[in-house]
Amino acid sequence: MKKSKNKIDDLLFNITKLYPKYIDLNLLRLEKLLKKLGNPQNKLPPVIHIAGTNGKGSTLIFIKNIMEEYGLKVHCYTSPHLIRFNERIVLSNKQIHDDHLFNTLNEVIKINNNEEITFFELTTAVALLNFARKKADFCLIETGLGGRLDATNTIKKKILNIITSIGLDHEEFLSPYLKNIVIEKCGILSKDIPVIISSQNTDYKSHLLRKKIKDINCKILKLKPIPKNSYFGLVGNHQKINAKTAVTAVKYVLKDITNDVIQKGLKKATWPGRIQKLTFKNDMIAKSNEILIDGAHNIEGAKIINSYLNKLNSGKWNFIFGMMNNKNPKKFIEIIEEHIENIIFIPIQNQKNSYQPEELKIIFKEKKFNSTIKKDLKSALDSISSNKPLFITGSLYLMGEALKLFSVKKINF
């Protein structure tokens, strides 16, 4: 019987109610469940494991598209999703089918037998079970939070690790200190598996990473150049860093790969919600001559937006902004405020831990830009009267809202 999207959504919602455990970064619960499932984490295709603060998803997508262009079948695990949970689990180049997802969710829930576990741990078990059961050439795994105690770090058999750009994020779970963040990210490493380190935006970060990796005693692979005249399907200067990391990875695991294949893969790569231009034609966006969305939610992400807007040189923008309350909106907005003429603060739909617009209005009461509050994204869009360009940012959850509102029903990448 075909399972509808609503049945999957209901099941996922029930998981959050049945297992409401606060995240405490502990691998023991998941290891116990995986043992009951036959330890699927030990039966995967060759694994490339990716940790970092920013750039994990983009790097993964570059690698995926290059490998597909080479003719390979690839499993992928990413988070969070923007519209459908299926986005998180790609089986042999295709998002997991509704029926398959529904059945394996139920299977894992039954085997877990009401034991205490988090949503991410349980759904990671679902992903690993599917990856172990379906053949593929490679398995690309993105960490959810940190690295050392992330649910994906139950995977020990790997061929390559990657550390992308690092910075402060999820401080409530990891640490407010960069040195400790590095320790958590490098927790996926081991001495017998080589690592690629993406270029960092400060020498201090590079120093911290290399010092920690030296202690672990694993080989650091030298970054390879991107083929000349390459075009990226992903927007922004920062994507050169992610592309270089991806190129280094594929050249390491695929010795005979050609520049032509690499260039085609880089060009094909798409990653929704990251400096994405919306071009849909309807009443909601007729008032704005350009709309960009980006799910940036930390300081490094704000710097990327600022750099991109500096390059565009389009003057002042209208902004719609919503953010989870474990982030730092003040520091985020201060980085991009020179580009803001008007900003509308909104809550994030179905996220009880998002900032309320009234709270954000108070935080920024001394700023020179105009600020207003609205009850939701649609109200904010309806209220825009200027033909200035519009930027929606502050959370990946908000990007999902925006894409749904602009009639995007399914995301493929």
Q: What is the pLDDT of residues 124-182, one digit of tens each?
A: 999 999 999 999 999 999 999 778 889 999 999 999 999 999 876 544 444 457 888 88
Confidence bin at 9 (pLDDT 50/70/90): confident
Q: Which residue has the higher pLDDT, 298 or 193?
A: 193
Question: Which residue, 68, 52, 65, 59, is CA-closest to 239?
Answer: 59
CA distance 247 to 225: 8
Half-sphere exposure for 351 (CA within 13 Å, toward CB): 20
Positive or negative, the CA dihedral 176, 179, 183, 186 is positive
Q: With a cut of 80, say whether residue 3 has pLDDT above it.
A: no
CB neighbour list of residue 234: distance below 8 Å, 6 or more residues apart: 58, 61, 62, 242, 243, 269, 270, 271, 274, 275
C-beta neighbour count of 365 within 10 angstroms: 8
Please report the DSSP string for 128-146 in residue order: HHHHHHS--SEEEEE-SS-
Q: Where are the domains of the chain?
A: 5-268, 276-405
C-beta neighbour count of 196 within 10 angstroms: 24
Q: With a cut of 80, say whether residue 410 has pLDDT above it.
A: no
Q: With a cut of 50, say whether residue 255 has pLDDT above it.
A: yes
Residue 170 is predicted with a pLDDT of 44
Segment among 40-44, 60-64, 395-399 with least mean pLDDT: 395-399
DSSP 87: G
Chain segment 185-236, per-residue pLDDT in tens: 999 999 999 999 999 988 888 899 999 999 999 999 999 999 999 999 998 8
pTM, 2 dp: 0.89
First vs last C-alpha separation in the chain: 27
State whether residue 390 is helix, strand or coil.
strand
Question: Which residue, 327, 307, 328, 302, is CA-closest to 319?
Answer: 302
Confidence bin at 26 (pLDDT 50/70/90): confident
Q: Which residue has the higher pLDDT, 24 or 239?
A: 239
CA distance 148 to 44: 20
Which structure tokens are listed for 305? 């937006």
Write the CA distances from 274 to 56, 324, 391, 395, integer angstroms.
12, 17, 12, 11
Residue 320 is predicted with a pLDDT of 96
Work out the mean pLDDT of the chain and round it to a whole number. 89
Taking phi over 0 as left and psi of -120 to 50 as alpha, with beta for the rest, 52 belongs to: left
CA distance 262 to 247: 7
Q: Which residue has the higher pLDDT, 384 or 331?
A: 331
Residue 283 is predicted with a pLDDT of 53
The residue whose two tokens read 């969305």 is: 293
Confidence bin at 308 (pLDDT 50/70/90): very high
> Domain 5-268 belongs to what topology?
UDP-N-acetylmuramoyl-L-alanine:D-glutamate ligase (3.40.1190)
Confidence bin at 23 (pLDDT 50/70/90): low
Specify burial of residue 259 (Cβ count, 10 A radius: 0-12, 13-18, 19+): middle
CA distance 101 to 108: 11
Which structure tokens are listed for 132? 């172990």
Percent of the chain with pLDDT over 90: 65
DSSP 199: P
Q: With a cut of 90, say whether residue 25 has pLDDT above it.
A: no
CA distance 39 to 32: 9
Over residues 20-27, the mean pLDDT reads 66
Confidence bin at 280 (pLDDT 50/70/90): low
Chain segment 67-83, per-residue pLDDT in tens: 999 999 999 999 989 99
Over residues 324-331, the mean pLDDT reads 91
Q: Are 141 and 90 in contact (CB under 8 A)?
A: no
Characterize the bridge pairing of strands 317-321 and 390-393. parallel
Strand pairing partners for 91?
Answer: 94
Domain 276-405 has CATH 3.90.190.20: yes
Which structure tokens are listed for 341? 């003429």
Over residues 402-409, the mean pLDDT reads 78
Write the CA distances from 280 to 100, 287, 409, integer angstroms.
32, 12, 13
